[in-house]
Each structure stands twice: as structure tokens, then as C-alpha cells.
Structure 1
Amino acid sequence: MNIAVMGAGAVGCYYGAMLARAGHEVVLIGREQHVQAIERDGLRLEAQQFDEHIGRPHLSASTDPAAVSGAQFVLFCVKSPDTESAGASIGPHLAAGTLVLTLQNGVDNAERLRGVIAREVAAAVVYVATEMAGPGHVRHHGRGELVIEPSTQSEAIARMFIEAGVPTEISPNVRGALWTKLILNCAYNALSAISQLPYGRLVAGTGVPASISDVVAECAAVAQADGVSLPPDIEQAVRRIAETMPGQYSSTAQDVARGKPSEIDHLNGYIVKRGEVLGVPTPANRLLHTLVKLIEDKASGAI
């Protein structure tokens, strides 16, 4: 396949590199410093089982959203606040029949993207621990599985990912899976950002497990009020994150450490907003959202 990755950060680079490594033609669309490094040296994928540079002829990079032109399949991996603007930038260049698969945090990105592009959009839930270790260098800490929404191409896409070494399943309840991922993010992201600790050390902190339980209980109550079907083992799934990704810092922690705006409005902030609409109190999520916003506002000079 010809594949474009819109938003070549840690997640986009990891999955793009895995597909290129399997022989697909992939173009990564991202920031100039990463594009220059990838075009010069290839993308370094430092995984748990291998450490390779992946480049031409299968992998290229560009800063131009028009590079999606001709792609049969687009991985949409931008930050949640950028969904509409990034979607509008690629929309005019998408070929007829192109499927856009959203690999993003939050639960409403696919719906928002459908509002700005006239192509088929499907949602995916991502469970992977990655980071950009430097320009053109993605480091994989663990996991990597995908849960994707049924679509006209879901069978072929799932097979493509599986053959590339990415565990993938098709689920009729992607909404529930997206909410499960949202709850995991709400449980860990803000606390990791505030403390600047990886998950394994974070959960050893005084009062942290109880605080995480409070956050998860609020999220589950909002989900129930919103008619979302969650798996019965949500608390076990939350505990498993620290066990399977002990060295991982949340994406929010990475953004805060670099002085960049985070996705917190689409994580704990989303729970707060939906709770207000549905009449569900969310004090633990509100406090975490407020603290991360304070850190961001201080860094930006807003306060």
C-alpha cells in the first residue's frame, strides 16, 4: 500500500516505520527538524527487539500536508486540539476511496474529522508506549496493539498491520474501547505530568492508587450516564498499565516537560465537561485538569 502518516510524532513514526519495515510505501508528514533528519539518515526505530534505521525506498518524510496525495490509507496521528485544522489541510489532497484512520487520544476525534473531510474516517484505539528520543529517532518502550472500527477496508488494514508485527483487532464496540483508553489516560497522564514520573514509580507514591481509583470511578460514572458500554475489568486494565509500561512517561508529561500545550482538555477536561452536561460530579478530574493547565499557563507566560 501507499500510506501517509499525518502527524509524525512518536505514535505516527512508530506505526509508519513498522509498516515501511514490512515493505509498504510510507510518507511521514511532520515537523521540519524530524523531516530533515529522516530524509538525511532514515528514521531510527529503537524497539525492544531491534534498533534499525528505516528510510528510502520505503520511507520518506515531508512537511507538506499535500504529501497525502495518492495515499490509499492515511494514519491520522496529530494532537487532539489540531484535529480540525490538520484535517482541513489534507482534505483537498485525499484521493477518492482513501480511508483515514485516527490514532489519537480522546473519544471524539473521528466524529470531528468527519466534519471537515469528505472521505471515510474510522477510529482506532492505540495501546503503545513510545517517545521521540530526538529528531528522526523514535523509541518504543512496549506494547503496540490496535483496536480498529469496522469500515470498508478494516479487514485488509487489520491484516496489513498484523503482517507488519502490530497486533490488531476489529471491534464493533470501538466507542467503549475509546472510552476505556480515555479512562486509562485520565488515570495516569495528568499525574505523570505533574510529578514528571514514569508509571511504575508513580503508582508507588503515597496516596496515588487511591487517587487513581477516585479518577476512574468518576470517569466510569460519566461513561455510564453517557450510555457507553465499558468492559467489566476496567480497574484491572488501569492497574495493567503500570505493570506493562513501568518506564513510560505519559504523553502529557512529555508535552509539559517540553513546554508544549498538552491534550489535557480532551482527557480529564473532557470528563469534566461531559460530567457537567450529564449532571455527574467530577472533582478529582477537575483538580487534575486545573493543575496541568496551571503548569501550562505558567510555562507560556499566561499567568
Structure 2
Amino acid sequence: MLGQGAPSAVEPQTTDIAILGAGAVGQLICHQLHSAGLAVGLIAREISASPSEATDWQDLVFCPMPSNDANTDSVSYRVPQFGLNSTSLQQIKLLIMCVKAYQVLDAISPLLEKLSPQCHILLLHNGMGPHLALTPKLNGRGLSLGTTSQGVLRQSRWQVRQTGQGLTQFGHFTGPALNQTLQDGLLKAIPNSEWVEAIIPCLWQKLAVNAAINPLTALHQCPNGTLAQAQFTQIIASILDELVEVAAHDSVELNRQFLEERVYRVIELTAANFSSMHQDVAHHRPTEIEQINGYICDRASAHGLSAPINAQICQAIKQLSATKPKI
């Protein structure tokens, strides 16, 4: 069925929230916000040459998870899509960045001089690090961070299917806080979401899961469930040991046992899945290793520590990524 009818592209349209990075997660969040009645649109880097007053419209398709007690028909809907030169960028109150971690700075740099000084930025990606590099460039804007465990699969360029439910957490990092109306709107629109007072520990917890699962599945070319085998017990333990020590020097106290239980719980729940890093390596794409295990190494170095296991894993992934794909 078709979503709410969109106005003509020549009619004025105020978009409060824009998403940059219309991959699987970006389209999932876009659907959830649109379904909740929020004024959401997309920013398309590929139409940067479009006239400044032009607004395109993008048709998207969302496929919900199969359910016995809910309508699982695909939903078609339309949202405004702005180029990098669109004057509508000045109207945006919240920019949600859903690009890969290593793309954040390059993706947002052309926008910073075009967004309103009051526009709030929300980073929603795997790994850590971009928040530290972005902060000096904000020119007084507010920055929030987020993490989500929702599962979503991209079936075509503009069609995604939700594959799993999970916790989504947001929290303030620096600068002016996100206004309460937008904050409430996000939490109402995204199922099982919460605003937390301290977002950094939550990101470290998610980092632990990614640091243990993503590179090992890529290196061993296996689904997540394989990591439950005894042969991986020691290296997972070493990854977590180093992470907990480094986080403590960053004034983030983590429960080591809780982290291990969480890692193995994710391995169990996603046993048949292939991690994003596995897929990136398999398709010869850049990985987020520098923002996952590499971030642990960077923070260790900042405190005069070493994280040899995470460093070895980083190097192994880089070497694997540098090899030519098999034919």
C-alpha cells in the first residue's frame, strides 16, 4: 500500500529531520520516523549539482518482519530528498548521520556551512572515534550519539526488510541539547528506544560486541554462530580484557562478565547471520576496523598502554582487505 500522499515538489515543505546515509539502517530509521508522522527527508550526496531551490521525491519500500499477529505487507512511501545545494537544508533541525564510521567527516564537511547554526547532529553508526574528530568542527552545534541493535537487510537500492528487533539508545555528547520535542519524537517513533544520561558507556558496550564478532567472522569467513566454538574462547576473552582495561583509563567502568555474556548472547541470537565486516571483506569494500578494534588501540596508545591482540586483529583485517577478491 502507498503511504501518505506527498505534496507536489513545487510546494514548500518544511523538513525537521534529515537523514544522511540511506543504507539499510538509514532507510529503517526513515521509515520509522515517517510512520510516526515526523517530517523526515533524505540528503542525497549524488545530486549535489541540482538547483538550489529543487526538491526531489524518493519512493522507498519497507518490508516488516514476518508476524502472525500483524500486517506484514510491504509499505511504499515517499519522502523529500535534498541535494547538497538545496536551500531547504537551512530548515533542518536534526541531522541523523547513518553513514559508515569512516565516512562521517567527509560526508558532513560539505554540509556544515549550509546547515542552520542551531541544527543538531546525531551520529548513528558502528564503532567509535568520529565523535572526537567532529566535535571541534561543530561551531557551537549540539552533538548526540546513538547505537542500535535493530536488524535490517537491504534488498535493493530503495527497499529494506527488517530482520530483527533490538534496543536503540541515544544520548547527549556535547554542545546544546537536542530539544525535547525532537527527542520525544525519536523515542516515540523508534520501537524499544531510550534516551540515556551517559551514552559513552553504552557505545563501549556495543563496541565490545563488534570488536569480538566482526573481525573474527571476517578473518575466518564464517557466520556469527561459529564463534561459539571453543577454539575462539581465548581470543574473545583477550579482546574483551584489553577493551575493559582501556575503557577504565577513559573513565568508563565496564562489567567484564556482563560484556562476555552479551557477546555470546549476540552470537547465539544471530548465529546464522554474517557480520557487516564479513560482508565488507567478502565484497572487497572498506571496513570499519579502525573505528572498532582500531579505536581500542588508539585509546590505549593515548594512555600509554598497549592492546596487542586488538592490534594484531587490525593488521590482519587490513591485510585481508588489501588482497584481491577471489574469482
TM-score (norm 2): 0.79
Match among 222, 242, 253 for residue 267 of structure 2: 242
Please tell me whether the aligned partners of residues 89 and 115 of structure 2 are also in contact (alpha carbons under 8 angstroms): yes
2:245 — aligned with what? 221
1:3-42 equivalent positions in 2, closer than 5 A: 3-30=17-44, 41-42=59-60
1:132 is the counterpart of 2:146: no
Please list the CA deviations of residues 58-83 of structure 1 after superposition, one character each: whole Å capped at 9, or x if unmatched: x2445647464422211111222222
1:194 is the counterpart of 2:219: yes
Q: C-alpha distance in 2, partners of 1:243/1:87?
A: 36
Match among 252, 263, 266 for residue 277 of structure 2: 252
Are residues 98 and 241 of structure 1, via their aligned partners in 2, closer, same or farther at CA, if it must alter by over 3 Å? same
Please tell me whether the aligned partners of residues 41 and 53 of structure 1 are also in contact (alpha carbons under 8 angstroms): no
Please tell me whether the aligned partners of residues 19 and 42 of structure 2 are also in contact (alpha carbons under 8 angstroms): yes
Are residues 39 and 245 of structure 1, via their aligned partners in 2, closer, same or farther at CA, if it must alter by over 3 Å? farther
Are residues 264 and 161 of structure 1, via their aligned partners in 2, closer, same or farther at CA, if it must alter by over 3 Å? same
Match among 126, 134, 146 for residue 168 of structure 2: 146
Please list the CA deviations of residues 213-254 of structure 1 after superposition, one character each: whole Å capped at 9, or x if unmatched: 221111111111222122462222222212333333222122
Are residues 255 and 176 of structure 1, via their aligned partners in 2, closer, same or farther at CA, if it must alter by over 3 Å? same
SS in 1 for 2:19: strand
CA positional deviation for 1:206? 4.7
Are residues 94 and 291 of structure 1, via their aligned partners in 2, closer, same or farther at CA, if it must alter by over 3 Å? same
Q: C-alpha distance in 1, partners of 2:219/2:162?
A: 23
How many residues of Structure 1 are paired with residues of Structure 2 in the alignment? 294
4+ residue runs of structure 1 moved beyond 4 angstroms? 30-33, 38-41
Please tell me whether the aligned partners of residues 48 and 142 of structure 1 are also in contact (alpha carbons under 8 angstroms): no
Q: C-alpha distance in 1, partners of 2:241/2:216?
A: 16
1:63-82 equivalent positions in 2, closer than 5 A: 64=84, 66=86, 68-82=89-103
Q: C-alpha distance in 1, partners of 2:73/2:21?
A: 22
1:60-209 equivalent positions in 2, closer than 5 A: 60-62=80-82, 64=84, 66=86, 68-118=89-139, 119-150=141-172, 152-153=177-178, 155-199=180-224, 201-209=225-233
Please tell me whether the aligned partners of residues 293 and 313 of structure 2 are also in contact (alpha carbons under 8 angstroms): yes
Q: C-alpha distance in 2, partners of 1:114/1:278?
A: 20
CA positional deviation for 1:40? 6.5
CA positional deviation for 1:120? 1.4
TM-score (norm 1): 0.85
Please list the CA deviations of residues 107-153 of structure 1 after superposition, one character each: whole Å capped at 9, or x if unmatched: 33223222223321111122222232321122322134222113633
Letter matched to residue 181 of structure 2:
A
Letter matched to residue 235 of structure 2:
S
2:65 — aligned with what? 47
Please tell me whether the aligned partners of residues 221 and 280 of structure 1 are also in contact (alpha carbons under 8 angstroms): no
Q: Whose Rg is larger? A: 2
Are residues 165 and 123 of structure 1, via their aligned partners in 2, closer, same or farther at CA, if it must alter by over 3 Å? closer
Letter matched to residue 126 of structure 1:
T
More displaced stretch, 284-293 vs 155-164: 155-164
Q: What is the percent sequence identity of the aligned residues?
A: 26
Choose between structure 1 and 2: higher helix proportion: 1
Are residues 51 and 256 of structure 1, via their aligned partners in 2, closer, same or farther at CA, if it must alter by over 3 Å? farther
SS in 1 for 2:92: coil
Q: Which runs of 5+ in 1 are unaligned?
A: none
Please tell me whether the aligned partners of residues 144 and 178 of structure 2 are also in contact (alpha carbons under 8 angstroms): no
Q: C-alpha distance in 2, partners of 1:109/1:175?
A: 13
Are residues 221 and 73 of structure 1, via their aligned partners in 2, closer, same or farther at CA, if it must alter by over 3 Å? same
Letter matched to residue 165 of structure 2:
R
Please tell me whether the aligned partners of residues 24 and 160 of structure 2 are also in contact (alpha carbons under 8 angstroms): yes
